[in-house]
């Protein structure tokens, strides 16, 4: 099959003057080459397309792929992850991963939490701060956790995200509102263990392929899976462990409720954290999970459960092709 590969190359954005943090969601040559090789190994003819603009040029010139393996994150707006899928839908070209509606909704963490709450899955209490004056009318017990409402790759999350008083909250929110130009999600801070689950498949055939605990090695990590924990001091600050069998089944039950309830497709990740009573709470979902073969959380989960990278890519393709062939 002729497969088009759409992606945002991190180096391109760095050359345009983006900082490393601003470009954190975009993909490295290592990731793109790994996906390309895996698809070729599965017998597909792969064409690198690039990002949104390159895709438009290809489509308006009359060229089409039979299916697009899409990992584009986009660079602006709440619906940035949905832009490539929306265009592909307009041209009736099938693609991997969730559709434009799901990608637009799930990037906005507060909207997602409202839906998840309606699905009957526990999630920490929250509010959204659109301007600094909103804090004056807020009535939530400290400590609280503050992060941008629509960022990925833990951008905007640091040791300062956990706040203990109103003055600290105002400072953190002011900084985030200015830097990220979007509302701030304020959540009840959960002090318990943190987990992330890897999911493959669609609908009734979706399954949790693994769940790992994110273990913070020492106080430098400050108990938060921050941008620094993921990309700067990962090996020094963080350790990944398979969830035990009892926890796995608990995570699996909640994850499937959310995944199927939202209508996510093909593959993704979901984050959970325990409250002080040890009850599991949904934090957020990434239906367009990073696929870096070394550092991506979904490939890390796969390795912990003995699933080779090639097999992960095959499972994603099998799920997408089943839709195409229906």
CATH number (domain holding residue 252): 3.30.470.20
Asked if 212 contacts 195 with a C-beta cutoff of 8 angstroms, the reply is yes
Residues 231 and 305 in one domain: yes
Quick one: 285 and 233 in the same domain? yes
DSSP letters, 124-159, are --EEEESSGGGGGG---PSSEEEEETT--TTTT-SG
Q: Which of 164, 188, 212 is the last residue of a domain?
A: 188
Q: What is the pLDDT of residue 238?
A: 84
The pLDDT value given to residue 285: 97
242-266: average pLDDT: 97
CA distance 324 to 146: 41
**Last residue within a domain, chosen from 150, 165, 188:** 188
Side-chain half-sphere CA neighbours of 260 within 13 A: 13
Kindly state the average pLDDT of the residues 265-280: 97
The tokens for 228 are 């620094």
Rounded to an integer, the average pLDDT of 271-282 is 96
Give the confidence band of 126 by pLDDT, cuts at 50, 70, 90: very high
Q: Do both 147 and 132 map to the same domain?
A: yes
C-alpha 155/C-alpha 226 separation (Å) is: 7
Q: How far apart are CA 23 and CA 300, in angstroms?
A: 21
- Packing angle, helices 29-41 and 309-324, rounded to 10: 70
Integer Cα distance of 91 and 93 in angstroms = 5
Question: How far apart are alpha carbons 277 and 49 in whole angstroms?
Answer: 49
Same domain, 155 and 202: no
Averaged pLDDT for residues 269-294 = 96
Average pLDDT in the chain: 93
pLDDT value of residue 159: 85
Q: Where are the beta strands (DSSP E) in the chain?
A: 2-6, 45-50, 67-70, 126-129, 144-148, 162-163, 184-188, 194-200, 207-216, 238-242, 267-274, 280-286
Statement: residue 231 has pLDDT above 70: no
Which of 137, 165, 188 finishes a domain? 188
Q: Residues of the chain with pLDDT > 70: what percent?
A: 94
Residue 30: domain span: 2-95
Same domain membership, residue 175 and residue 231 = no
The pLDDT of residue 221 is 43
pLDDT confidence of residue 6: 98
Say if residue 76 is in the same domain as residue 88: yes
Residues 91 and 53 in one domain: yes
Say whether both 14 and 88 belong to one domain. Answer: yes
Q: Examine the domain organization and report whether 89 and 152 are in the same domain.
A: no
* Confidence tier at 226 by pLDDT (50, 70, 90): low
Asked if residue 215 has pLDDT above 50, the reply is: yes
Number of folded domains that form the chain: 3
Q: Is residue 252 part of a domain?
A: yes
Q: Is the pLDDT of residue 113 over 50?
A: yes
Closest CA to 187 of 107, 113, 125, 129: 125
For residue 205, tell me if it sits in a domain.
yes
CATH number of the domain that residue 171 is part of? 3.30.1490.20
Tokens of 272: 């959970």
d(CA 218, CA 236): 9
| Together in a domain, 87 and 153 | no
Within-domain flag for 101: no
Contact 74, 80 (CB under 8 A): yes
Residues 201 and 318 in one domain: yes
Instruction: Assess if residue 76 is contained within a domain.
Output: yes
Per-residue pLDDT at 134 exceeds 60? yes
pLDDT at residue number 218 = 62
pLDDT of 192 higher than 80: yes
Is the model's pLDDT at 272 over the cut of 80? yes
Q: What local confidence, expressed as pLDDT, does residue 154 receive?
A: 82
Q: Clarify whether residues 313 and 195 are in a common domain.
A: yes
In the predicted model, is pLDDT for residue 259 greater than 90?
A: yes
Residue 309's contacts (CB-CB under 8 Å, 6 or more residues apart) are 34, 38, 293, 299, 302
């Amino acid at each position: 099959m002729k497969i088009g590969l759409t992606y945002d190359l991190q180096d391109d954005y760095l050359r345009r003057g983006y900082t490393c943090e601003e470009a954190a969601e975009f993909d490295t040559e290592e990731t793109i080459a790994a996906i390309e090789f895996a698809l070729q190994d599965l017998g597909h003819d792969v064409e690198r397309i690039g990002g949104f603009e390159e895709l438009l040029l290809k489509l308006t010139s009359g060229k089409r792929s039979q299916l697009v393996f899409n990992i584009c994150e986009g660079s602006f707006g709440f619906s940035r992850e949905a832009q490539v899928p929306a265009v592909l839908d307009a041209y009736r070209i099938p693609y991997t991963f969730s559709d434009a509606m799901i990608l637009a909704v799930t990037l906005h963490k507060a909207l997602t939490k409202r839906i998840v709450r309606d699905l009957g899955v526990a999630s920490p209490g929250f509010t959204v701060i659109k301007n600094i004056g909103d804090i004056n009318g807020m009535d939530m017990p400290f400590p609280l956790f503050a992060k941008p409402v629509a960022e990925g790759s833990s951008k905007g999350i640091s040791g300062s995200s956990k706040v203990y008083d109103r003055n600290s909250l105002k400072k953190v929110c002011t900084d985030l509102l200015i830097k990220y130009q979007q509302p701030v999600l304020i959540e009840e801070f959960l002090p318990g263990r943190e987990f992330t689950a890897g999911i493959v498949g669609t609908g009734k055939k979706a399954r949790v392929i693994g769940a790992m605990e994110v273990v913070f090695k020492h106080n430098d990590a400050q108990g938060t899976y921050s941008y620094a924990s993921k990309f700067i001091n990962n090996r020094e600050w963080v350790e990944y462990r398979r969830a035990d069998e009892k926890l796995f089944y608990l995570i699996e039950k909640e994850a499937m409720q959310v995944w199927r309830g939202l209508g996510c497709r093909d593959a993704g990740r979901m984050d959970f954290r325990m409250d002080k009573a040890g009850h599991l709470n949904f934090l957020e979902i990434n239906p367009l999970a990073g696929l870096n073969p070394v550092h991506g959380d979904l490939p890390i989960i796969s390795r912990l459960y003995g699933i080779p990278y090639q097999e992960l890519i095959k499972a994603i393709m099998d799920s997408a092709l089943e839709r195409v062939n229906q």
